[in-house]
Structure 1
Amino acid sequence: MRDLQDAPEAAWREERSKVEIEGWGRKLLSRQDEDGQWAGGAFVPAGFTPHEWREHGQPWTATCWALTQLREFGLEPACACARRTIDLVGRNSRWDHADEPYWQGETDTCINGRAIADGAYFGADVSAILTRLLSERQEDGGWNCERENGSRVSSFDTTINVLEGLLEYERSVGATPQTRAARRGGEDYLLCRCLFRRRSTGEVADEQYLRLTHPNRWRYDVLRALDYFRDAALTDQTAPDPRLGEAIAIIRSKRLPDGRWALDRSLRGQAWFTIDEGEGKPSAWLTLRALRVLRWWDRGQS
């Protein structure tokens, strides 16, 4: 309604208010623990073992994944259940890494990127996470979760998680010269690589980046990056960057004859429920994201 039909704000906000009481939003909220968490843990479910991870894949049922999904669903941040959830998570949830309070973040940059996006959107104080992220930029402009293990180059996956977090922080809390500079540096890191190429050789950095995924969780793909750049340009009131053109062409090439886009990859691991029909099948979510990206791009070329 908002991104494709130009519906009046009052109309799409009325529809958005139903996320709390209908569909996937209601279903996810119904799985919430009494202490505000999901599955008893911040990053992984309580009691989840390394053996289970190896056997079934990374789980997606704990608190951080639920909050990100509720944000993506559009749960109104001012609604009573959102305010209650953010308060309870702040009081009761601790990161698995070293028992850090949830809204202060932990050491993993990808996790902190999503946590600052969720916290800023829902009104939590995430200033401690912001300070950490701003201090962790690599010399090439982006971020990398492996920094704590000695990496001095950035990664596509980490950088997109942090960029989304910084953009949500600026939109919800307010921009600063430091956040603007950090976001510009991270954006340039991706743009100089046409969103999917190695800067050194021009080769595709990872074939998985060309496979459309949803929900992305922490994973990167070109549509996720394009959707970020669309969101950032609309927020900043800037035109599409020409360096996005090659990634745009990839998205056009993936359109099915019926006008939709199919899910190329789904991530294995526990989830509360699925929201697509499976790999190779048309995806409503991917179709929405692709259509709004192309609409924004085409308008910017006219």
Structure 2
Amino acid sequence: MTITTALADWLLDADPALRWQVERDLLQEPAEVWRATRGQIAGSGFGYRLLQLQGQDGQWAGGSFFPAGFDFDGPEAANGAGQPWTATTWSLNTLRYWGLDAVELAGTAELLAVNSRWSYADLPYWHGEVDCCINGYTLANGAWLGADVSGIAEWFLSHSMPDGGWNCDWLDGASRSSFHSTLNALIGILYYESRVGGVPELAEARHAAEEYLLQRHLLNRLSTGQSVGPWAGQLAYPFRWKYSVLKALDYFRLAAEHDGAAPDPRLAEAVELLSGKRQSDGTWWQELRHPGRAWFEVDVPPGQPSKWLTLYSLRVLDWWDRRH
């Protein structure tokens, strides 16, 4: 996909965490160019700021998934305020998505093994939890930082739903998969496979979960063919835990490249929806911001053109167009 010089310049005028991906994926710059930019993440901008907030115990905000001392019955947990995004798991997710070299976090895996526990049953950090989304994040972050998270990979094999996906509410009796849970699990599993190596049983489970979403064209209920809800098509960065068509399409782009496969034609409806959100100047706008306390904002407020969403959207559409 060809982009205008003005759009390219706008995207390049950004933090290194975003700029290197523009250079590599949209402008096809030589490796020495985008690698040099990616190498700046630890020493400047968003990446540097977030690294400086890591505690001596290896954690961020003193907690695994929620900040230390978080009041689950307090005002921050009620009235739609949203959970905080400052604790360890969210900070690791962010740095990994930005492309930080794991060497910049040398020793963190060991510190978390000693100091970080999950709120649920005080479980050790790298053993995982009972929540599918949390385990998906931890599986990917462990593979990134070199921790042994093979037990979490095995956990996914025994906790998939009969329809192929996962649901974080399985302990409460849920028997059908969730769009949100399934996608977060898939992202973690794919990253684990790409870093650690393929496990046939895990790849089979991943493909079954992909089929769950593909049968629904990433957007619809299987029973009626109607939309699962407006949230599926809403665009917001950072993605956080919620499902979105863009987050799902970006996953299927990575999965197809990993498997050496062509785009599944059942993605067409989702691609059309995403393409239709493109503005006349070639950008995509931030449509909402997931509520909750953050260390600092990394994207624009709703109603403004988002460099992050534009990068992700152009990358997906470029992959779709090239492979077709």
TM-score where L is the length of structure 1 = 0.97
- Name 1:53's counterpart in structure 2: 77
| Distance in 2, Cα, partners of 1:290 & 1:258 | 14
User: Gaps (5+ residues) in structure 1?
Assistant: none
* 2:201 aligned residue (178, 182, 198): 178
Cα deviation, 1:220-255, whole Å, max 9, x if unaligned, reads 000000000001111111111100000000011100
Q: Distance in 1 between matches of 2:291 and 2:42?
A: 27
User: Where does residue 98 of structure 2 map in the other structure?
Assistant: 73
Counterpart for residue 278 of structure 1: 301
Q: How many Å apart are 1:122 and its aligned residue?
A: 2.2
1:157 to 2:183 alignment: no
Percent of matched pairs sharing the same residue? 49
Correspondent of 1:90 among 113, 123, 130: 113
Q: Superposed, which structure 2 residues align to 1:121-140 within 5 Å?
A: 121-140=144-163
The whole-number CA distance in structure 2 between the counterparts of 1:16 and 1:107 is: 34
Unaligned runs of 5+ in 2: 1-22
**Which residue identity lines up with residue 46 of structure 1 in the other structure?**
A
Question: Counterpart in 2 of 1:34?
Answer: 56
Residue of structure 2 equivalent to 1:12: 34
For 1:218-237, list aligned pairs within 5 A.
218-237=241-260
Q: Within 2, Cα distance between the matches of 1:130 and 1:9? A: 32
Which range moves more in the overlay, 5-14 or 248-257? 5-14
Aligned length: 299
Q: Of residues 264, 268, 272 in structure 1, which corresponds to 2:287?
A: 264
Residues in 2 aligned to 1:299 and 1:121: alpha-carbon distance in whole angstroms: 29
1:43 Cα deviation after fit = 0.8
Question: 2:172 and 2:142 mapped to 1: Cα distance?
Answer: 26
Q: Secondary structure at the match of 1:152?
A: coil
Post-superposition, which runs of at least 4 consecutive aligned residues in structure 1 deviate over 4 A? none
CA–CA distance in structure 2, aligned partners of residues 291 and 217 of structure 1: 20
1:7, CA displacement in angstroms? 2.0
Alpha-carbon distance between aligned partners in 1 of 2:33 and 2:300, rounded to the nearest angstrom: 28
Q: 3-state DSSP class of the match of 2:40?
A: helix
TM-score where L is the length of structure 2: 0.90
* Cα displacement string for residues 189-239 of structure 1 (whole angstroms, at most 9, x for unaligned residues): 000000010000011002111101211111100000000000111111111
2 CA distance for matches of 1:34 and 1:18?
23
Q: Which residue of 2 aligns with 1:2?
A: 24
Q: Please give the per-residue CA displacement for 1:61-97, whole angstroms capped at 9, x wherever unaligned.
A: 00000000000111112x2x31222221222111111
Give 1:192's aligned residue.
215
- Which of residues 106, 117, 127 is equivalent to 2:140? 117
Aligned mates of 1:156, 1:75 — CA distance in 2? 28
- The answer to whether the aligner puts 1:296 opposite 2:314 as a matched pair is no
* Cα distance in 2 between the residues matched to 1:191 and 1:58: 30
- Aligned-residue Cα RMSD (Å) equals 1.0
2:124 is aligned with 1:101: yes
SS in 2 for 1:212: coil
* Structure 1 equivalent of residue 89 of structure 2: 64
